[in-house]
């Protein structure tokens, strides 16, 4: 249950912001305590906002009871957006960002060194309520604010807390960018099926269903991925033969993923510097 004592200000009602807004409303949040700030929200979000009579783009100066400010805009827009909403700092709100590539310090520059800031990195499955979000906070965040942040983020999936802000870049490399890795795996599996003679549409259908179903099995069973792999691998069978290629010590998926995740981590650190 999402309970708000003051106003929740959502800055950015795009895919991620919109998914969270839908989750908060489904979780019982009072629409009268929500403000959306977005010059051009997508049509479906504009309709949702209008249907629930949520305030859209009111004068920031008129919001005197901001409890939490959720920042869900693209990183390249941040320096244009933050000065406009900085007056909200007079209410001493929790500043919770779901935008990639911006450090806690960058928000403190706009909201003050005493601002309570939580930096998070969600991933795209949040759009269907199956995301996972990692969060790191500065010392100004109270236990109550941390609990509120967790409740708000759980509206789109699982939530984990990391010990240091530096770990957010590591999380980005694994789960933040991870959906793209899975989508590419699906592409590769479909292309391989087509190459051995399957019709393209059938190969694509098989690959998508296999990846989606395997993920759901792993989620529902809670069984370790390695155990699940072993369970479907018969000694000297077809899966075993394929895994000899995929698990090759030097050329298999393991070394490739190590390189890919390391590259993503390096870029995440560059963007956050």
Q: Please state the residue numbers annotated as binding site.
A: 72-75
Integer Cα distance of 124 and 227 in angstroms:
27
Annotated binding site for NADP(+): 72-75
Determine the longest span between alpha carbons in the chain, in angstroms: 70
- Residue 159 pairs in a beta bridge with 133
The C-alpha atoms of residue 91 and residue 152 are separated, in whole angstroms, by 19
Distance CA 106, CA 176 (A): 20
Q: Which token pair is 21?
A: 């807004």
CA distance 171 to 161: 11
Q: In whole angstroms, give the CA distance from residue 137 to residue 140.
A: 8
The token duo for 136 is: 């790191």
CA dist 199 and 63 (Å) reads: 58
CA neighbours closer than 13 Å in the CB half-sphere of residue 240:
6
Round to whole Å and give the CA distance between 136 and 247. 34
What are the tokens at 14? Answer: 């795009």
Please give the Cα distance from 244 to 133 (Å, whole number): 34
């Amino acid at each position: 249950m999402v309970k708000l004592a003051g106003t929740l200000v959502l800055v950015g009602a795009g895919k991620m912001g919109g998914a969270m807004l839908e989750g908060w409303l489904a979780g019982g949040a009072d629409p009268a305590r929500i403000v959306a700030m977005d010059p051009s929200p997508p049509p479906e979000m504009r309709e949702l906002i209008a249907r629930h009579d949520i305030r859209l783009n009111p004068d920031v100066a008129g919001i005197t009871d901001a409890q939490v400010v959720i920042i869900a805009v693209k990183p390249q827009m941040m320096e244009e957006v933050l000065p406009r909403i900085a007056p909200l700092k007079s209410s001493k709100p929790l500043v919770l960002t779901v935008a990639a590539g911006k450090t806690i310090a960058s928000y403190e520059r706009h909201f003050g060194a005493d601002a309570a800031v939580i930096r998070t990195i969600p991933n795209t499955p949040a759009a269907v309520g199956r995301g996972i979000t990692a969060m790191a906070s500065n010392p100004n965040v109270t236990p109550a604010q941390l609990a509120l942040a967790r409740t708000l983020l759980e509206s789109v999936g699982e939530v984990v807390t990391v010990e240091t802000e530096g770990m957010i870049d590591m999380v980005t490399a694994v789960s933040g960018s991870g959906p793209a890795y899975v989508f590419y795996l699906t592409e590769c599996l479909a292309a391989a099926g087509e190459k051995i003679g399957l019709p393209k549409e059938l190969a694509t259908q098989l690959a998508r269903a296999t990846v989606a179903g395997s993920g759901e099995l792993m989620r529902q069973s809670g069984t370790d991925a390695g155990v699940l792999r072993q369970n479907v691998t018969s000694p000297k069978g077809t899966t075993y033969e394929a895994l000899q290629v995929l698990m090759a010590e030097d050329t298999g998926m393991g070394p490739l993923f190590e390189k890919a995740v390391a590259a993503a981590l390096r870029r995440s650190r560059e963007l956050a510097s």
